Amino acid sequence: MSLDQAVNANMVTIVPEGEIAGLMTPAAAFDAVEACFAAMASRKAYNFPVIREAIGHADALYGFKSGFDRENLALGLKSGGYWPGNEAKGLTNHQSTVILFDADTGRVKALVGGNLLTALRTAAAQAVSLKHLARPDSKVLGMIGAGHQSAFQMRAAVAQMNFEKVVGWNLHPEMLSRLEATAAELGLPFEPVSLADLGAQSDVIVSITSSFAPSLLADHVKPGTHLACMGTDTKGKQEVEAELLAKATVFTDEIAQSISIGEAQHAIARGLIAEGDIVEIGAVINGTHPGRKSDKEITLFDGTGVGLQDLAVAAKVVDLALAQGVAQTVAF
Ligand code: NAD
């Protein structure tokens, strides 16, 4: 049964969290996210305002990210948030579910586990930025951050380019074993380094931390580097010195988020860059912006994470689940 047939038969398709790993591939996530960024830049898709609230219960942050992609007919929302007490209960602290609606009728189409999809779409966004902005001869990958998401980011980066080595730094050095193990899984040597060394060695730098103060400084970064700053997705968070954005050409998934909750919020607030200096990555994908213009240019992708990315990967996984006969459908 196709998704349209299921909707016409008043059936809702359910893809549980536990099925996602067996269905979704990084390559499928990459294609879905790249298409969604392209549709955003050509104004065929837009994100609705984000809601995120401290609910005053279980210390939880809860909210919605939503949008509509007219090109790919993805309509819906991702709802969820952060429950810090979950780990003690054997659950993941980040919890989310995607709900897709039929754009023609408003009927609910699908309910999809959103936890692994969030990790995959975030890694895919960074990989899209590497494809379009990093120097093709990049050899050394620098990783800042060694938490849960870092392994996904490293795998997606290594799938994208022929790296020969990974160097890494983390505020909490005891966590670096995750980067070392992931590099080993990918068949690459790993070296723990200082931030100055990381900047001196890396052709591509990925930052994925929950920091509220800059770690990497503008002077650490050499000409020609591509940075994907993926951790800053909230007001107040910051991973790199604001001066670095003034030295770089800044790209993002969505400008409104970049200047308010993304890495660019600080450079904007200090007047170091203007909103008009920031380029949507979709414009590069669509060929209306040239992207990197020289081997000496520093490019920086401010990946803030948009709802349309969640809808794009969820729609893909529903198609895969139906095609492979593992989707559950219930009358609704
Ligand atoms: P995690 O809690 O597993 O790891 C946190 C990482 O940040 C660790 O490496 C930790 O050592 C580091 N860190 C903590 N405090 C720091 C500080 N003060 N200075 C420098 N480093 C510090 O989290 P995760 O799941 O790996 O996610 C990392 C970040 O990515 C989070 O901030 C999360 O909100 C963000 N994120 C963004 C997107 C997006 O679309 N942009 C998507 C998913 C996650």
Cβ–ligand 1 distance for 230 under 6 Å, the answer yes
Cβ–ligand 1 distance for 145 under 6 Å, the answer yes
Predicted pLDDT of residue 7: 64
Look at residue 242 and give its three-state secondary structure. Answer: helix
Instruction: State percent of the chain over pLDDT 90.
Output: 94
Ligand 1 mean position, distance from CA 237 (Å): 10
Predicted pLDDT of residue 9: 73
Mean pLDDT of 307-315: 97
Mean pLDDT of 248-264: 97
Chain-wide mean pLDDT for the chain? 96
Which mutation among 94, 209, 234 tests ligand 1's pocket best, with the greatest number of atoms within 8 A of CB?
209
Cβ–ligand 1 distance for 172 under 6 Å, the answer yes
Ligand 1 mean position, distance from CA 131 (Å): 23
Predicted pLDDT of residue 72: 87
Structural domains in the chain, sorted by start: 3-118+308-331 (3.30.1780.10), 133-306 (3.40.50.720)
pLDDT in tens, 50-69: 998 999 999 999 999 999 99
280-297 core/surface letters (b: 16 or more CB in 10 A; e: else): bbbbbbeeebebbeeeeb
Sign of CA dihedral 141, 144, 147, 150: negative
Q: How confident is residue 5, by pLDDT bands cut at 50, 70 and 90?
A: confident
Ligand 1 mean position, distance from CA 294 (Å): 31
| Identity of the amino acid at 43 | R
Please give the Cα distance from 306 to 124 (Å, whole number).
12
Please give the Cα distance from 307 to 166 (Å, whole number).
30
Q: Is the pLDDT of residue 48 over 80?
A: yes
Tokens 């050409």: give the residue.
Answer: 249
Q: DSSP for 277-319, please give it.
A: G-EEHHHHHHTSS-----TT--EEEE----HHHHHHHHHHHHH
Cβ–ligand 1 distance for 304 under 6 Å, the answer yes
Give the H or E element holding residue 185.
Answer: helix 176-185
Please give the Cα distance from 229 to 299 (Å, whole number).
11
pLDDT in tens, 152-207: 999 999 999 999 999 999 999 999 999 999 999 999 999 999 999 999 999 999 99
Q: Model pTM?
A: 0.96
Predicted pLDDT of residue 90: 93
Tell me, yes or no, if 78 is annotated catalytic.
Answer: yes
Ligand 1 mean position, distance from CA 284 (Å): 27
pLDDT in tens, 69-122: 999 899 999 999 999 999 999 999 999 999 999 999 999 999 999 999 999 999
